[in-house]
Structure 1
Amino acid sequence: MSVARALTTLSIRRGERELVAPARPTPYEFKVLSDIDDQEVLRFYRSGAFFYRGDASKSGIDPAKVIKSAISEALVHYYPLAGRFRELQPTRKLVVECTGEGVVFVEADADVRMDDFGDSLAPPVPCYDELLPEPECATAVVVDRPLLFVQVTRLRCGGFVFGFQICHCIADGQGIVQFLTALTEFARGVPDAPTVRPVWQRELLTASWPPAITHDHAEYAPLPDPGKDVVSSSDAFSQHTFFFGHREIEALRSQAPPALRSAASRFDLIGAFMWRCRAAALRYEPDELVRLHMFVNGRVRNRSRHRLPRGYYGNSFAFAAACAPAGQLCRRPLGEALRLLLEAKARAEQEGYVQSVAGFNAARRRPAFPKARTYLISDMTQAGMLGVDFGWGRPVYGGPATIILATFHLEGRNEAGEVGVIVPTRLPVLALERLKVEVAKGLTVTAGPTATEPADNSKSALVPAHAIAKL
């Protein structure tokens, strides 16, 4: 699937930056982040963009004013977002000082229509640097700064773009959607909004002392020779969006061993497949270990006494990690990559795993997140992004504005209008061209010998993720 980029430049007229405070007085207090929130890797601002068409019934109604008022009301309930992060020394532990100062809001106008953005919106969205209120960056200073930045850009056709950046330490993907849903309820005048009341309770994912680490966490261990990687920030990068509809999913499922076909979701199949294709396209040395990292949602997976309450909007995920030598990963059938992925998820879904991650982070003082030879993926097809409706209907596109650290699986359509999963991908130019070839080749494979377990004993060369730390 090729993403149309009809618009390459955009002239924006921005108004003055304003601070939008809660509509009514809120408590002044200090709130401590959990040990899942307070990870070094989350100290950045996660961006999103929502594109809306004009609505004749909204003629004369300014979306910027509607949304600005909704933010002020929502901050009464989500008042920590109106505060500022402070660091406790010497540990650098983050806490929120609930000052009620507010969040940054910008009104803007663009002399373009929605159709000018093209038919197939996907991250990075066209002209995102003009549609977001702050420069986009993988790392950022988060202390003593607003936690949320919003820009509403009105379009000539009556539509608008809602762009935002929110510090990842304050909320994860599901928490962000929960907050955005509250905004839309106030914008639409829903009685008794927000219908889902926000819950702080970060102590549920705060480590005891001494920290209890009940599981292995090799997902935080660097691979051997971490400085040796084939991808560098100095490379020239390119983007492409891959589409997986019914035909593509069935082609992948046909390659899975019968025992795994019913257990594997679309996300599992696509994730394992793209991991293999990416490793081949990047041409790693056969003996180099390559890793797959996945977000596992603690709200869904935590069981019994560890279940988080409805309305919890903090970070509650763990990273599931699979690992294999690049040569083995690429040479063996898709079923092997799928098996490694499913085993990694099963480990991260064990009861108490997220709490163990909290203990690990507290004990290690927020260890660095390994990135070398690691493919990080996140399933956002169930996040509810396309349900974020301010009163102008469902967005044409709603989701991440850019590609920085993770590769997102998103709801999308191909040129024929078929609904499926889109996988926006960013790689060095030559590697991306090789990836297109690998994906096309892999999707033409039919069920046969590759769908069975291999006859040789080379499975032993695959490295379980929990063994990385011992290498």
Structure 2
Amino acid sequence: MSTIVVTKLPAVVVQPSETVTTAGKAILSMFGKPLITLPSTVLYVFDHPIHEPVETVRKGFSQALFHYYPLAGRLACDDNNDIHIDCTGEGVTFVAASADCTIKELMIMCDRKDAVPVQEQLAEDYPMESCSHGDPLVMMQVTSFRCGGFVVGVTWNHGVADGFGIGRFVQTVGELARGLPTPSVIPVLPLQSSVLQVVPPPCTLAVYQAVFQFPPSQLVGSNITIPAGLVHRIRFGGRRDGRPPSCTLFEAVAAVLWRCRTRVVMSDPEAPAIIVFTANSRKHMGIDDGYYGNCTTIHMAIEKSSVVANACIMDLVGLINRAKEQIPEHFKNGGNDTTMAMLQAIEGFSGGRAGYENVLSITSWRNIGFEDADFGSGKTARVMTYVRALLVPHCVVCLPCKWEQGARVMSRCVTAQHADALLQEITTL
């Protein structure tokens, strides 16, 4: 099978299972406000059936919205033009769908580099791929497959929740769908959390302004697999002595992508090659894990493109690791000399703004809870996404599929003319 036909029923509105009498206004954190027009999508793949998956998930969805009632509201502006959530209880979009193939056939199609059109059928989307004030904050689609498996596609306004937060929400949907009386983790509402008083570190804002503000390029979506053997070689160096790995899987994958993409797209050896990554900063801020609003900061490593293109992978791993180690310092003094020196390097080369060739942004979806969703037939067989046409070249390191080895990366980080060359670079490592 080379394609998939998904038949969708008309969308319906799902409201909280009970009325929240104390609902009012939920304030967005400073971390979320820059993201209020940005949608994001996660696809949860389950290969074992449950009884009436559409109705089971819909019921759990409604019950979860009672506990996460701001997500059933709408964005609004107050008299000072400050954006917040009106907790109106209007509800969210829910779509029931069916596909003409099995989950395993779907996985074969999703292993292709051009899998994005297939994946896009498994979730609802906002008009023009942008969120507006009148739109629901969450949309959910449940697609049933011929084998009895199903896919839960969740699209949300990234301004109201980060990946960790939406992962907690979907875990709650699953828990309540399975019959649990209350969520295992009590959500911390945006209007109750001290994160609202915390301003993102100045270096995070400076990095955002320096590397996320250039004209868009026609980037193409693609699925990339970093071979398991390559990942193991980087992490263990061929050792079989049982000692712990020398780096994380994220560091290994990020280093591979950074070097390979730099070799493909950059021609000026003196130009800065920048890798940008996000981090869940709850623990650095003393924020409860039940907080589901945005609490993600931006960090980076930078070197001359000639250095990145010719470096040993382990040297690049070291650069990325050092950037991660600096994260706690960002919350102690608002930044550090290393970050400011990086920004000065960008300023000196390009007048303060990086371009398409210079920047690679990477987000890891490992260890943020997506894999823990369970609607009654066990945890996910795979978690997927499709990377949207953002301004910045971007990759998402996803969870491994239960049927495969290696690291799966969903990417939109090169133009069409560089897509094949990037894959070739990875295969030659």
Q: TM-score range by the shorter chain?
A: 0.7 to 0.9
Deviations 1:268-297 (A, max 9, x none): 122122101111011332122221111111
Distance 2:212 2:29 in 1: 30
1:224 and 1:136 mapped to 2: Cα distance?
23
Q: Secondary structure at the match of 1:131?
A: coil
1:50 is matched with 44
- The offset of 1:87, in angstroms, is 2.2
Question: Are residue 24 (structure 1) and residue 18 (structure 2) matched?
Answer: yes
Residues 1:332 and 1:356: Cα distance change in structure 2 (over 3 Å): closer
Q: Is the 8 Å Cα contact of residues 399 and 407 (structure 2) preserved in structure 1?
A: yes
Q: Distance in 2 between matches of 1:17 and 1:154?
A: 15
1:439 aligns with: 426
SS at match of 1:389: coil
TM-superposed CA distance for 1:200, in Å, is: 1.9
Contact 2:122 2:151 in 1 (8 A): yes
Q: Secondary structure at the match of 2:428?
A: helix
- For 2:213 and 2:178, the matched residues in 1 are separated by 54
Q: Which amino acid aligns with 2:120?
A: D
The 5 A counterparts of 1:151-190 are 151-190=141-180
Q: What TM-score, normalized by structure 2, do the two folds share?
A: 0.82
- The correspondence for 2:30, drawn from 32, 35, 46, is 35
1:134 to 122, 125, 131: 125
Could you list the runs of 5+ residues in structure 1 that have no partner in the other structure? 1-5, 256-260, 358-367, 443-471
2:31–2:200 CA contact under 8 A, matched in 1: no
- Aligned residue type for 1:128: Q
Whichever residue aligns with residue 249 of structure 1, its letter is H
Q: Quick check: 1:385–1:399 contact (8 Å CA) kept in 2?
A: no
Q: Does 2:299 align with 1:311?
A: no
How many angstroms does 1:343 deviate by?
Answer: 2.5
Paired residue for 2:308? 329
Matched, 1:287 2:275: no
In 2 relative to 1, CA 135–217 (structure 1 residues): closer, same or farther, beyond 3 Å?
A: closer
What's the CA shift for 1:436? 2.4
Alpha-carbon offset, residue 422 of structure 1: 1.7
**What is the root-mean-square deviation of aligned Cα atoms in Å?**
3.3
SS at match of 2:18: coil
Structure 1 contact 180–388 (Cα < 8 Å) conserved: yes
- The answer as to 2:409 corresponding to 1:423 is yes
* Partner Cα distance (1:413, 1:273) in 2: 20
The percentage of aligned residue pairs carrying the same residue is 23
1:174-213 superposed matches below 5 A: 174-190=164-180, 192-201=181-190, 203-207=193-197
Partner of 1:97: 86
Secondary structure of the 1:412 match is: coil
Mapped pair 1:383 → 2:374: no
Counterpart of 2:241 in structure 1 is: none
- 2:326 is paired with a residue whose SS is helix
Post-superposition Cα deviations, 1:31-58, rounded to whole Å, max 9, x if no partner, equal 111101111x452111111222353xx4
What code does the residue aligned with 1:170 have?
V
Give the letter for the 1:337 counterpart: L
Q: Report the equivalent of 2:210.
A: 222
Structure 2 unaligned regions, length at least 5: 239-243, 337-351
Listed one character per residue, the Cα deviations across residues 328-359 of structure 1 (whole Å, up to 9, x for unaligned) are 221333344233322322222326269889xx
Deviations 1:6-64 (A, max 9, x none): 4424141x22221111111113301111101111x452111111222353xx4xx3211
Length, aligned pairs only: 400
Give the Å deviation of 1:424.
2.9
AA paired with 1:132? A
- Give me the whole-angstrom Cα distance separating, in 2, the residues matched to 1:336 and 1:413: 29
Q: Could you tell me whether the CA contact under 8 Å between 1:83 and 1:99 is conserved in 2?
A: yes
How far apart, CA to CA, are the structure 1 residues paired with 2:288 and 2:248?
A: 26
Q: Does 1:350 align with 2:337?
A: no
1:382-421 pair list within 5 angstroms: 382-402=367-387, 404-405=389-390, 406-413=394-401, 417=403, 419-421=405-407
Provide closer, same or farther for how the CA distance between residues 99 and 439 of structure 1 changes in structure 2, counting only shifts above 3 A: same
* Inter-CA distance 242–354: structure 2 relative to 1 (3 Å threshold): farther
Q: In structure 2, what is the Cα distance between the partners aligned to 1:97 and 1:293?
A: 33
Paired residues of 2:41 and 2:156 also in contact (CA < 8 A)? yes
